[in-house]
Amino acid sequence: MSNLVLEYINAQNRPFNAQNIADALGRHGIKKGMAQKHLDSLTEKGEISVEVGGKSQVWYKVQDPDGVLPDDVLKEMEADKKIKAARLAELNGEVAKRKARMMQMAKQLTTKQMNIKIEQLTSENAKMEEKLVPMRASKGTSVSASEMKKMEDEFVKHVELWGTRRRNFNDALGTIMDSTGQTKKKLGDELGFEWDDAKATEKLDTYKKTVDTIKRKRAIEARQKKFKRMVA
């Protein structure tokens, strides 16, 4: 049994107490008391080492003195390890930078793709220049500030009228649907209603944004005029 204990300690190569040995080799019939005897016997023979701390004892494999390096060699190896670790970190940084550069280059166009793109843009530019020729030749018609204001007023008026009529229609239609229980589509088919499609709704939303821009511009102009009168 002592040989079994010795083989186990040498194989594991870590500290054990008697209870550890009993737990590990209990299936072989070795209890704590027997483990203690085997450990003491092996210690007396010099086949294992023991550390005593108060009432506790810890046994471990006898270390080969030839396998222990001198302190100066260990220090030299530790210093070399730090140098190599620093170099490794430096190399990892370079690798990361190169990978990032390669990813960036992969997103860029190849020479062939760039030539195709240049030809495409050149063709598009030529077509646009052709359209600009009559515009550049024409002197055009200037629009006065008063005429611009009049056109803006008409635009705002019609957009708001469109929105108001649309809202009133939807309110009335909602009331009819609630009272009759019919769907919007069914009412439209029976009464011949027509309403704005998705494209028209999108246009109205765009026009409303333009109206808001006009009103904000007018408000700014009004404040500027008021300020000028105050400081005049």
The first and second tokens of residue 87, run together, are 């170099």
pLDDT band at 67 (very low <50, low <70, confident <90, very high): low
Q: Which residue has the higher pLDDT, 107 or 207?
A: 207
Task: Please report, for the chain, the start and end positions of each structural domain, with discontinuous segments joined by +.
Answer: 2-67, 145-231
Residues 6+ apart with CB under 8 A from 138: none
Distance CA 66, CA 60 (A): 17
Give kind and range of the element (H or E) at residue 227.
Answer: helix 198-231
With 70 as the cut, is the pLDDT of residue 68 above it? no
The first and second tokens of residue 76, run together, are 């030299």
Distance CA 176, CA 182 (A): 8
Contact predicate 16/6, CB 8 Å: no
Cα Rg of the chain, angstroms: 46
Give kind and range of the element (H or E) at residue 95.
Answer: helix 71-107
Contact predicate 15/58, CB 8 Å: yes
pLDDT band at 65 (very low <50, low <70, confident <90, very high): low
Q: Tens digits of per-residue pLDDT, 127-138?
A: 888 888 877 777
pLDDT at 212: 93
User: Would you say domain 2-67 falls under CATH 2.60.40.10?
Assistant: no
pLDDT at 186: 84
What's the pTM value of the predicted model, to 2 decimals?
0.38
Lowest mean pLDDT among 10-24, 70-84, 89-103: 70-84
